[in-house]
Structure formats: C-alpha cells, structure tokens
Amino acid sequence: MIVVVAPPLNQQRADGARHTLVNIAHYRLMVLMLLFAAGVAAILVRLMLLGVMAEPRSAIAAESALVPLRGDLVDRNGAPLARTIDAWSIAVRPDKVIGDKRQLAEQLAALMPDHDAGYYYAQLNLDRSFVYLRRRALPELVQQVNALGEPGIALGREPERLYPQSAMAAHALGYLDMDGRGVRGMEKFLDARLVDPAERGRPVALSLDTRVQAALESELANAMAVFQARGAGGIVLDSDTGEVIAMTSLPTFNPNHVTANTGQMNTVTQGVYELGSAFKPLTMAAALDDGVVPSLSKRYDATQPLAVGGFRIRDDHAQKRWMNIPEILVHSSNIGTARIADEMGQARMEKLFRSLHFDAAPDLEVEKSRPIWPHYWGRTTTMTTAYGHGIAVTPLHLASAYAALVNGGIWRPATLMKLKPGQAPAGRRVFSEATSAKMRALLRLIVTDGTGRKAEAPGFRVGGKTGTAETVGAGGGYSKKVNVSTFAAVFPMDRPRYVVIAMLDSPKGTKETFGFTSAAWTAAPVVSRVISRTGPLLGVIPDANADIDVTGLRGLLWRAPGDAKKLANVE
C-alpha cells in the first residue's frame, strides 16, 4: 500500500513568499548595479569632455599651483639670493585665550626671548581677533609653543621670503613688507615680474656674483672696524657692460629681520660725497680731448699756492716746481689740476660732468639720490671741481665714469640685471679711444710710481687714483681732521675689465698708518686685497709678465730724494 504525505499548507505558503523575496532582491540589486554603472559612465563622459574642451589656461592654472607665490632671485651663477619658502607662523587670538594670560605671557617670553613678558601680555590683551607673535618660526619653536596647550594660540603655514645669504647684498636685494610686496631694492624693482603667474616659476638672475660680493663685504667691514670709520661703501663694476658684480654699503642690515630702526641708506647709490682727487684723471682726459693739453709733457706752474678770489689752492705734498701731466697725477697736485681746469673754463668743465651724468641720479634699478650740483659756477668752482671739491656725487657715479675712462671712452648705465652676451647697451662716447689709451697708462703709473702704491696686487696690473676729501663740519666749512677716503681702481690695465671702488667715511688713523687717514693708507689697501681675492674668480689670472708699458711716461718723471717714501702720505 502506498502512502502519500502532502506538505502542510503553511509551509507551501512560506516557500512561495521566500521565492518572491529572492526575486525582489535580485531585481533591486540589478537596479542598483545599473545606477552605479550609469554614474560611473557619467563621470567618465564628464572627464572626457573636460579633457577635450578645457581651455589652455586651465593647464597654466594647474602649473601655477605648483610654483612659489613669488619668483626666486639668483646671482649670475645661479646661487640663491632670495626665495619663497613654506614657513611656520605663531599667532594668538586674544578673545579665544582661556588660560591665565600673565602666566601664558611669561611662558611665551621664555620660549621667544626677543620680547619680554610685558610685551606678550599686551599682545594677549589687544582688542583684535588675530595677532602675529612670530613669523618664519622654526619647527622646534612651533612644537614647544604648541605644547603649552593654549587653544587661543594659532599655528599656521604660510609663504615667507627667505634670504639664504643673510645680510649679503642686502641693499641691492631689498626686502618685502608684511603683505609680501617689494618695498626696496631689486625686490621692489622686479615686484610685478616676481609675482606674475606666467613668469614666477623662472628665477631672475642678477648681475651680482656672491663670491665677489662676499670678498668685498669682508674687506670693507674689516677696514671699517680697523679705522673706526662711520661708514663704508664699495662696488665692483664690469667696465664693458655696466653690470654691477658686487655692491656693498656698510653698516648693513639683514633682510630676514628688518626692523623700524634698520639702517637702510645705500652708501653707493644714495650717499653723495666730495670724492676728492679721484676726479683728477677725469679732468685730464677732458683736457686731452679738447686740446687744452696738447702734450703730456706740457708743464704747469706749481711753485706756490694758487690764489683765486681770496681762496688759496694748495698741494698736500708741494713739489714747488713746474710739473707735467704725469707728475701732476703721480704727485696728486691740486695746483696743477686747477690751472688746467682754469684753461678749460666753466663751459667745458660743466660739459664734462654732464656727459658723465654727474648732474642726475645714478643709473641703477634701486634707490638713489641726486648729486649736489654747484649753484654757482664761478672761476673758483671751475677750478676746485676739477679735483673733486665743490661737487658731490655717489660712488656709483665715479665707478661708471672710470669705466668710460678706460674702456675706450664709452659711458654706459650701470645695471643689477645679468646681461646676455651682446646685450650690453651701446652707450655714448665721452672720451676718444686715443685719450682712453693714454689714461690707462697714466692710471697704471699712479699705482706703480705714485700715491696708489698700496693698491697694487701683484700680477693683476692695477691702475687707479686716490681721493681724500675733507668733510663739511657742523658749523660749515671743511674739517681738517675728518675726511672721506676713496680709491678708484681698474684691473687688469693691459685689458681693462673691472672697476673697483672702495670708500671709507671718516676713518681714524692707526699706529700702522702713522696716524694718516688719507686714501693711500686706508682705502688703497682694501682695493689691493679685494682684487687679489676676486681676480681669479672673475677669470683674471695673475701674470707677472703681462703689463701695460709705462716706460715712456716714467721717463717724464723728475725724482727728488725721498719721493717714493713721501708719496705714501699724499692723498
């Protein structure tokens, strides 16, 4: 017998409901998968459209996000001078401070001792929502401040301008204000270029050479300390292009930490001085070009002081005889130079100085001052300006003038921008080539046989001229004890390429200089050391066998017993 057992009715119903739920679940999963696929497809289509239809400037915008907010400044060899970094900042929100403000102020003073607790307590009580306590903070300091656990202290990352060479070339570089805008130096001049999104990714090369800059700053700072000078300035200029290879003004400042009391005047471009006998070669060159001096052997009366309208022109080391052109320069005769200027006359002397731009601010991209031009050009002014008194210019004016004096006679504006080969400005002729050649020999003679002996750098064929000018005293008139000592040099004289100016403001004599403060004792040795250190860096190899021929000029010199020793004391 067969027995058939049928499932209960409730079980049949449960199995049917289970199948229905499974079907619904499969349906929902399919719908979800279709929606997900549609979403992915939509994203892919959108990305394709963006790739095809995006404008070119979107790529530039993407690239801009990866470059600094301000372009770098580098020297002519690519060494960094200024760059933008991602730095830490420490600030406080006074209204958010919950701890004891006096205790917090003491803790901050202990961590940041550049201010006392009173200063920080005042900052914590300012009626402001946000106050900076330190910009460009080191990570170690940020970590210590954060460990104080005060919610009112805000730590952030922000772009900061860093000058990795510290105070080097500070006056040339300048610095930024708190809003990141250039306010001095090349930072100001190049401000628009350095923040241009299309340009800021490429560093700007300046004409400076950090190696030469370091040597110039070091030697000037040492001389300033030794002679207890009030200030100092120096420049190394390429006489063929006008590029400033180095420029120093002392005292200087650190652009990483500029304060309201920071001394910022650029001695080289803003300081105007009577630069004394360094003007004499310029006067001689103009006289040769104008035919006032037809021959270097022409003699001028220097037997006694020259009286002009109640004023007497004297020589520091009087020869008391008639002297020719080489002798006037070698012995730095004011009397002989004044007589030549008198023959030149006012119009031609003014023309000389205007052609050298001594009547306008120097040609450079940074801060500068106008010279002090004579208000009245009488006979006395005409004669005294010939040897650097009665007219005040900047050391940069003198450097550009000496470049024209030796480079074949072409005056060119100075620049702090690196120039490409062949990019030097054409310039303007101010001296003839023949006169320039004669002046090169005369400048070399001054160093080998005259007042510039201490500027000699063996093998580098240095030429140049001393300049010592008395400063104007507090009550007017010239001080007999305080002067500005300058030496203007060029090297190598057989192929002039670099002008070097060293100036000391108000130096004091030492035992080693026998109390003398003239340029022969103070500024000339600085030039010698700078050239010896930087010549090889600039591609000038010392050569004892290469020199300019001064034999003919030396034959025009009359020697008195003891002249070589006495000349060291002449300005």
Query: Which residue from 364, 69, 83 is spatially nearest to 203, judged by alpha carbons?
Result: 83
Rounded distance between C-alpha atoms, residue 202 and residue 71, angstroms: 7
Q: Which residues sit opposite 432 in a β-bridge? A: none
Beta strands 80-92 and 153-162 are: antiparallel
H or E segment and range at residue 20 = helix 9-53
Residue 292: how many other CB atoms lie within 10 Å = 18
Rounded distance between C-alpha atoms, residue 90 and residue 141, angstroms: 9
Phi (first) and psi of residue 157, to 5 degrees: -110, 135
Residue 1: how many other CB atoms lie within 10 Å = 2
Q: Which residues sit opposite 79 in a β-bridge? A: none
Rounded distance between C-alpha atoms, residue 47 and residue 53, angstroms: 10
Phi (first) and psi of residue 207, to 5 degrees: -80, -15
Question: Token pair for residue 237?
Answer: 């200029």
Is 528 noted as a catalytic residue in this protein? no
Q: Which residues sit opposite 86 in a β-bridge? A: 159
Rounded distance between C-alpha atoms, residue 368 and residue 366, angstroms: 6
DSSP state of 446: H
Question: Token pair for residue 273?
Answer: 């001085």
Rounded distance between C-alpha atoms, residue 92 and residue 347, angstroms: 66
Rounded distance between C-alpha atoms, residue 26 and residue 37, angstroms: 16
Residues 6+ apart with CB under 8 A from 202: 71
- Single-letter amino acid code for the residue at 549: D
Residues 6+ apart with CB under 8 A from 391: 274, 353, 358, 371, 372, 373, 374, 385
H or E segment and range at residue 554 = helix 551-554
The SS3 assignment for 323 reads: strand
207, 239, 277, 532: the catalytic one is 277
> What are the distances in angstroms from CA 221 to CA 11, 228, 370?
106, 10, 26
> What are the distances in angstroms from CA 130 to CA 133, 344, 347?
10, 68, 64
Query: Which residue from 209, 201, 272 is spatially nearest to 235, judged by alpha carbons?
Result: 209
> What are the distances in angstroms from CA 549 to CA 59, 228, 443, 461?
63, 38, 12, 11
Rg for the chain (alpha carbons), in Å? 36
Question: Token pair for residue 172?
Answer: 């040339």
Annotated active-site positions, please? 277
